[in-house]
Structure 1
Amino acid sequence: MSDWEVHAVKYADRDNRTRADSFIFDDNHDAPHAMDYYMWLLRRGDRVILVDTGYDDGEARDRGRPIRIDPQAALAPLGVTPDEVDEIIVTHLHYDHAGGLALFPNAHLHLQAAEMAYATGPCMCHDTLRMPFTAGHVCEAVTRLYRGKLSFHEGDAEIADGVTVHCIGGHSRGLQAVRVRTTAGWLVLASDAAHFYENLWLRKPFPIVVDMEDMLEGFTRLEKLASRRELIVPGHDPLVRKVFPSEVAAHITRLDKGPVREISI
């Protein structure tokens, strides 16, 4: 079978952050450290799979974290409309990854069973663990389940030929990374299993974590899944847009051809 196109679609960013927001162990916690927010689009022929959905204007207002481009409009340069998206891999249910589920009403969701159990279970009694979730997004996933529009996966699973998901955990109990066969080799969309290259390459954990051991072991798992380390794409790193080419629009980065510049951290 043929390989997949993979595009990173940036819809938001936050510049008012420091390295303390990104790394538990760091020598310069007060230094600025920006973050980008992405969705990812996989395409092969007529089949399109969206990985995560971003979040909408209402969530942006509630959290005081503006979006640059509405997730629906952000996909337009790729020739994809919201109604045409019929399949979404949800890496986890945090607001910035599942906050736009309602924007894609026809989509069938792929989710780890562990993530639904986590987002609807006793751990949500703790404010700290509940903070990255929004109840309405979780309820939207439950609604899709009752409409017959959600498939649960346990660990490793094949979504399509050349597209697999792998439960990593750590940042969220049922976080899953996505492995995609491309012309450059096996590419891994880490999502929040590694927010930044530095989390992964220097083994510096991200501060929002439910299981530190899972997070650290997940870094090694990501490296085993990818054909080479440079084909692991972090979930929030602005460096992604510098090392991979931009083709159809300034906010869209082409990943499946591999990086065109050396990754330096």
Structure 2
Amino acid sequence: MRVRHLNCGTMQFPGAPLVCHVLLVETANGLVLVDTGYGLLDIANPGHRLGPARAFVRPVLDPSEAAVNQVARLGYSPQDVRHILLTHLDMDHAGGLADFPHAQVHVSAGELASALAGRTLGEKLRYRTAQFAHGPRFIAHEPTGEPWLGFPAAQQLADIDPRIVMIPLPGHTRGHVAYAVQTDGRWLFHAGDSFYDRSVVDGRGRQPLTLTLQERMIAFDSRRVRDNHRRLAELAHHPDVDVFSAHDPTLFHRLARKALLCPN
């Protein structure tokens, strides 16, 4: 199973440039995206699609970074993307959904309910309903399953590919999840926004203050975020697991280079 690493949204975040780390997974059942980054409609109409938050996160909004254009450059059609697996529905993760209207969109049931109904003021503000106006083909998953590498519940997405696992990691949002993809005997663990900076899991250096403040400001449950940090730091020491966040540029480039040198 080949996995490609795509940056689908450079952001000039104050004090810490960021990426939108998206996985493109080739399976026997078609292509799978893990997150989408920003999409073409976000780039064309950022005021309506992204709202005032764009002035703070400062997305570059380069059409060449849109997942749909990167998929095309690899020789595929947008229709070849059969499934999209979302860690959560924040604007920098779900913006590209409209570029793949035929894909089934997999998300946790709690996350979908929060995005569409918004039970708290924070949830009403953080989700951009314009990004869902085209009517995505949502598939809601409950956080159940078997234990996986120390996590109490993980759901094998066997209908897509048995080597892809959804792991509930609420904290950043109510229904945030991670995805583990097994390739070449190793696991790629896409932790979404469960952490921002690599220092959280490798213990080297310190996370930029702007990222720490951002994380605390928008977290649905800060205690769970801290718990997730500890669990992910432990997982990062596993010899067969590569743990990465959606936004750390160093981890993105490291894994992208590794994939080029050792294609699956």
User: What is the CA-CA distance between 1:11 and the residue it aligns to?
Assistant: 2.4
- For residues 50 and 90 of structure 1, the distance between their equivalents in structure 2, rounded to whole angstroms, comes to 8
Amino acid at match of 1:102: A
Counterpart residue number, 1:92 = 88
Change (3 A) 1:106 1:254: same
Taking the TM superposition and a 5 Å limit, the aligned residue runs for 1:27-176 are: 33-45=16-28, 47-60=30-43, 61-62=46-47, 63=54, 65-68=59-62, 69=64, 70-124=66-120, 126=121, 128-140=122-134, 143-144=135-136, 149-155=137-143, 156-159=154-157, 160-176=161-177
Amino acid at match of 2:77: T
Instruction: Name the SS of the counterpart of 2:8 in structure 1.
Output: strand
When normalised by structure 2's length, the TM-score is 0.75
User: What is the CA-CA distance between 1:54 and the residue it aligns to?
Assistant: 1.7
User: What is the CA-CA distance between 1:230 and the residue it aligns to?
Assistant: 6.1
Deviations 1:83-116 (A, max 9, x none): 2111111111111111111110110111100101
When normalised by structure 1's length, the TM-score is 0.74
Aligned residue pair count:
227
User: What is the CA-CA distance between 1:151 and the residue it aligns to?
Assistant: 1.9
Instruction: Name the SS of the counterpart of 1:200 in structure 2.
Output: helix
Counterpart residue number, 1:180 = 181
- For residues 120 and 7 of structure 1, the distance between their equivalents in structure 2, rounded to whole angstroms, comes to 31
In the alignment, structure 2 segments of 5+ residues that lack a partner are 48-53, 144-153
Counting aligned pairs with the same residue, the percent is 25
Amino acid at match of 2:243: I
Change (3 A) 1:256 1:123: farther
Taking the TM superposition and a 5 Å limit, the aligned residue runs for 1:174-213 are: 174-202=175-203, 206-207=215-216, 208-213=218-223
Change (3 A) 1:257 1:130: farther
Change (3 A) 1:210 1:48: same
User: What is the CA-CA distance between 1:241 and the residue it aligns to?
Assistant: 3.8
